[in-house]
């Protein structure tokens, strides 16, 4: 009898349950910044850093989880991370002050850090390269739906169940994701695991970092994280400051990004056929740049939603291409390579919140996002040229 994850389609379905839960957890806070600021008596700029509190531990845990997954078994590590994530989300619902909530979001971020990167590594292990970009694109449907649901549902139902109820819902989603992965990998989880050794893990990292293609990819996603995601936690406050609404409108605007990503996931096969990877990078950078400029113009929240949909499409044209490339950087240590990739990306995301916060205060919305637009445009052009030259 075959394990539930033996075929590519079954593997993607099993991994999708955990991927959905982890991204749902990551996005529920962003529409709630204004509400949390009032209830916990904290400045909105401070509450916005709850996104950093999730993203930074997500990044910092990667150098540990990557080699642990290579050694002990990726499935086993994903299950353990989903257990911790679910418990941390449940505890967020009863947090009594902003400090406690920060600590629990950090724990949740570290746990979520073991889900998607190791899922990508598993797909690299079991799906041939020529089918991998489309397969990862299909997996991204669940990841993006988690983003879409997390931001949208949190904004829409906060008025009915409160922010504590939103965290209870996130914990329930985490429990469902955990159950799906445990059932899907039941046979593999019963198999004996390996043993972790520090010296071989360090040697694998040295080998990966000596690879020019790996260095390009890691730098690219670091810039991506800053330029694309820095604005997200600040958007709710900006919309409120314009007198256009609160969590509901912010949640719907942020959902635009996930909708654009979903459009990419459904069209990835056609985009690959007509553009190829190199032109996909150039187009993704250009689309992202245009979208960031529109957000910078500070129009209506509906305009922000449309621009973020374009940003989601452009971002995934860039990011999914980088994801596929990184799964081939070190075939014998895929979890370690993908972990370094995620480390770079989420360090960029964590730093981007503070960088954009300072930029909005010092420069204003349009100049700050204009710099981000220039960065994404340059990113698409430079990485297309470098990766084409190296491969």
Q: What is the pLDDT of residue 6?
A: 59
235-244 pLDDT tens trace = 877 887 777 7
307-328 pLDDT tens trace = 999 999 999 999 988 988 887 7
Q: What is the rounded CA–CA span in Å between residue 282 and residue 158?
A: 39
Q: How many domains is the chain built from?
A: 1
Does 1 fall in a domain?
Answer: no
Q: What is the pLDDT of residue 3?
A: 45
Question: pLDDT band at 2, cuts 50/70/90?
Answer: very low
pLDDT of 132 > 50? The answer is yes
- Specify the pTM: 0.74
> What average pLDDT score do residues 91-106 get?
92
Does 287 fall in a domain?
Answer: yes
Does 3 fall in a domain?
Answer: no
Question: pLDDT band at 195, cuts 50/70/90?
Answer: low
Q: What is the rounded CA–CA span in Å between residue 376 and residue 226?
A: 10
CATH of the domain at 244: 1.20.1250.20
Helices and strands (DSSP H and E) totals, the chain = 17, 0
> In terms of Cα–Cα distance, which of 391, 305, 370, 22 is closest to 171?
22
Domain span holding position 377: 8-390
| Higher per-residue pLDDT: 109 or 298 | 109
Average pLDDT, the chain: 85
User: In terms of C-beta density within 10 A (0-12 exposed, 13-18 middle, 19 or more buried), how is residue 210 classed?
Assistant: exposed
58-79 pLDDT tens trace = 888 888 887 787 777 888 899 9
Does 2 fall in a domain?
Answer: no
Residue pair 140/316 in contact by the 8 Å Cβ criterion: yes
Q: What is the pLDDT of residue 168?
A: 94
pLDDT of 331 > 80? The answer is no
Does 76 fall in a domain?
Answer: yes
């Amino acid at each position: 009898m075959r394990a539930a994850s033996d075929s590519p389609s079954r593997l993607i379905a099993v991994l999708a349950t955990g991927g959905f839960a982890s991204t749902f957890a990551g996005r529920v806070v962003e529409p709630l910044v204004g509400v949390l600021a009032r209830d916990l008596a904290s400045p909105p700029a401070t509450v916005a850093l709850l996104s950093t509190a999730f993203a930074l531990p997500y990044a910092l845990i990667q150098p540990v989880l990557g080699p642990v997954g290579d050694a002990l078994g990726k499935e086993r590590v994903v299950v353990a991370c989903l257990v911790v994530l679910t418990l941390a989300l449940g505890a967020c619902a009863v947090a009594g002050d902003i400090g406690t909530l920060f600590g629990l979001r950090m724990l949740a971020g570290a746990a979520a850090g073991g889900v998607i990167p190791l899922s990508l590594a598993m797909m690299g292990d079991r799906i041939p390269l020529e089918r991998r970009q489309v397969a990862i694109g299909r997996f991204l449907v669940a990841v993006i739906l988690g983003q879409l649901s997390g931001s949208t549902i949190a904004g829409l139902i906060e008025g009915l169940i409160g922010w504590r109820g939103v965290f209870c819902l996130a914990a329930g989603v985490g429990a469902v994701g955990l159950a799906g992965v445990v059932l899907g990998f039941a046979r593999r989880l019963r198999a004996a695991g390996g043993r972790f050794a520090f010296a071989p893990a360090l040697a694998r990292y040295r080998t990966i970092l000596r690879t020019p293609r790996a260095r390009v990819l890691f730098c690219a996603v670091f810039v991506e994280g800053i330029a694309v995601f820095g604005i997200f936690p600040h958007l709710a406050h900006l919309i409120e400051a314009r007198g256009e609404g609160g969590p509901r409108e912010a949640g719907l605007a942020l959902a635009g990004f996930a909708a654009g990503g979903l459009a990419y996931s459904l069209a990835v096969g056609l985009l690959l056929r007509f553009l190829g990877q190199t032109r996909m990078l150039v187009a993704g950078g250009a689309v992202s740049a245009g979208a960031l400029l529109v957000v910078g113009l500070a129009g209506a929240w509906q305009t922000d939603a449309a621009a973020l949909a374009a940003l989601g499409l452009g971002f995934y044209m860039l990011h999914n291409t980088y994801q596929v490339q990184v799964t081939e950087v070190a075939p014998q240590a895929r979890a370690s390579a993908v972990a370094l990739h995620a480390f770079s990306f989420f360090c960029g995301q964590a730093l981007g919140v503070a960088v954009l916060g300072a930029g909005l205060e010092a420069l204003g919305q349009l100049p700050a996002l204009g710099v981000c637009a220039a960065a994404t445009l340059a990113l698409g052009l430079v990485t297309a040229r470098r990766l084409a030259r190296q491969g």
